[in-house]
Amino acid sequence: MTAAFARYDLRGRTALVTGAGGLLGRQHVAALVEAGARVVVSDIGSAQADATIAAVKTVTPSADLVPIVIDVTSPTSVGTAGDDLTGRGIMVDILVNNAAIDPKVTSSPGVMHSSRFEAFPVPQWQTEIAVGLTGAMLCSQVFGGAMARRGRGVILNIASDLGVIAPDQRLYRQADIVRDEEQPVKPVTYSVIKHGLIGLTKYLATYWADQGVRVNAISPGGVFNHQDPAFVERLTRLIPMGRMAQVDEYRAAIQFLCSDASSYMTGQNMIMDGGRSVW
Ligand SMILES: NC(=O)c1ccc[n+]([C@@H]2O[C@H](COP(=O)([O-])OP(=O)(O)OC[C@H]3O[C@@H](n4cnc5c(N)ncnc54)[C@H](O)[C@@H]3O)[C@@H](O)[C@H]2O)c1
């Protein structure tokens, strides 16, 4: 590592990524490994964590990866994982709160679409908030609390461009559905969770500022993942750079925000959205 990048060096540090089996979680793990960190790869099931470990090891066979099952909605699961890691001498220096539920909504002709605000089911509200928001709170309690006691650490919350702007519901319209109330929308939970994560970021950044724990958020724009071409076309018209993100384009930001390269930054939300939120 050249002198210019010395502050990005994560050798000797341990990071924990929640929801690490998903599309971006795998990228976060790879980014942290690239900077030299040992990474605790956690997801709700071992299959998801193992898949990420296998993929990262294909590129970096020497990667130091520790699989663990954590259901971020469960205080018991998060607490047990914390005890388990501590018992094995593994102290988490960096927590990436990334887990989320991406609800699959299906259309039923003749009834109001369940994603619409007027019909949004309370159990779905509770489930999604439990993962995206309560999960980040619980993991911060356990792992951030331990960091504060040790006097050093970093928390990074994965928010979204929809943590700073409202969803443009025209993006989600389906041409073959005539009645407005049958049209799917981006659910209210997504906005609430992502705005909430930015609030949690500011709260914890000030709460632990004098205990050496820095807390920031990153708000990525949409990642191209072979979505419906009509959706992609509509979305890219809203993005000054004229395209969605490539899946690996947030890696350098993760390295910056999780390392001493960002040592004087806390309570901030780094927006990386191809310019969408400034248009
Ligand atoms: N993909 C994008 O375009 C995009 C854009 C902006 C922000 N984000 C945010 O980035 C993060 C990752 O997104 P993604 O696209 O990789 O999502 P994803 O759905 O691919 O991955 C989410 C992961 O969270 C896990 N998870 C779900 N419930 C859990 C629980 N109770 N406990 C632990 N893990 C659980 C899932 O198993 C999955 O592996 C999310 O917070 C998402 O909102 C994504």
Task: Tell me the CA–centroid distance for residue 220 and ligand 1, in Å.
Answer: 12
Pocket test for ligand 1, best of 16, 17, 26, 44 (most atoms within 8 A of CB): 44
Structure token pair of residue 274: 């191809």
Instruction: Report the alpha-carbon distance of residue 193 to residue 57 in Å, rounded.
Output: 32
What are the pLDDT digits (tens) for 244-262? Answer: 999 999 999 999 999 999 9
Instruction: Report the alpha-carbon distance of residue 113 to residue 102 in Å, rounded.
Output: 16
Give the pLDDT of residue 108: 59
Instruction: Report the alpha-carbon distance of residue 94 to residue 17 in Å, rounded.
Output: 8
Long-range contacts of the stretch 225-229 (C-beta < 8 A, 24+): 225/23
Give the pLDDT of residue 237: 98
- CA torsion, ordered 46, 225, 16, 266, to nearest 10 deg: -160
pLDDT over threshold 90, residue 104 = no
Least confident residue range of 84-93, 156-165, 170-179: 170-179
DSSP 223: B
Rounded mean pLDDT, 223-245: 97
Q: What is the pTM of this model?
A: 0.97
Nearest protein Cα to ligand 1, atom 23: 19
Give the pLDDT of residue 73: 98
Rounded mean pLDDT, 212-230: 97
Atom of ligand 1 nearest to the CA of 245: 3
The answer to whether the CB of 274 is under 6 A from ligand 1 is no
The answer to whether the CB of 47 is under 6 A from ligand 1 is no
Atom of ligand 1 nearest to the CA of 223: 3
Instruction: Report the alpha-carbon distance of residue 262 to residue 138 in Å, rounded.
Output: 24
Task: Tell me the CA–centroid distance for residue 43 and ligand 1, in Å.
Answer: 10
| Superfamily in which the 3-278 domain is placed by CATH | NAD(P)-binding Rossmann-like Domain (3.40.50.720)
Instruction: Report the alpha-carbon distance of residue 224 to residue 268 in Å, rounded.
Output: 25
Under a CB-based contact definition with an 8 Å cutoff, are residues 176 and 199 in contact?
A: no
Rounded mean pLDDT, 213-223: 99
The structural domains of the chain, with segments of one domain joined by +, span: 3-278
Least confident residue range of 181-185, 237-241, 242-246: 181-185
What are the pLDDT digits (tens) for 121-167? Answer: 999 999 999 999 999 999 999 999 999 999 999 999 999 999 999 99
Nearest protein Cα to ligand 1, atom 29: 44
